Homo-oligomer: A and B are copies of this chain.
Amino acid sequence: EMAKLTQLLDNEAFRAYATYATIVLLKMMLMSPITAYFRITRKAFANPEDTASFGKGESAKKYLRTDQDVERVRRGHLNDLENIVPFIGIGLLYALSGPELSTALMHFRIFAGARIFHTLAYLIPLPQPCRGLSWAVGYAVTISMAYKVVKTALYL
Chain A interface residues toward B at CB < 8 A: 1-2, 4-16, 18-19, 21-22, 25-26, 28-29, 31-32, 46-47, 49-50, 52-53, 71-72, 75, 77-78, 81-86, 88-90, 92-93, 96-98, 125-128, 131, 135, 139, 142-143, 146, 149-150, 152-156
Q: A47 to B72, Cβ gap below 8 A?
A: yes
Chain A binding surface SS class: helix
Shortest C-beta distance, A2 to chain B (Å), equals 6
Which of B9, B11, B75, B142 meets A29, CB within 8 Å? B142
Q: A82 to B19, Cβ gap below 8 A?
A: no
**Which B residues lie within 8 Å of A26 (CB)?**
86, 143, 146
Report the separation of the CA atoms of residues A102 and B36 in the bound assembly, to the nearest whole angstrom. Answer: 33
Q: State the 4 A-B residue pairs at the shortest beta-carbon distance, nearest first.
A: A15-B155, A18-B153, A15-B153, A25-B86
Q: A75 to B47, Cβ gap below 8 A?
A: yes
Q: A11-B1, A32-B139, A139-B32 are in contact. Are A98 and B18 (CB under 8 A)?
A: no
Report the separation of the CA atoms of residues A83 and B83 in the bound assembly, to the nearest whole angstrom. Answer: 15
**Which B residues lie within 8 Å of A127 (CB)?**
49, 52
Report the separation of the CA atoms of residues A93 and B20 in the bound assembly, to the nearest whole angstrom. Answer: 11
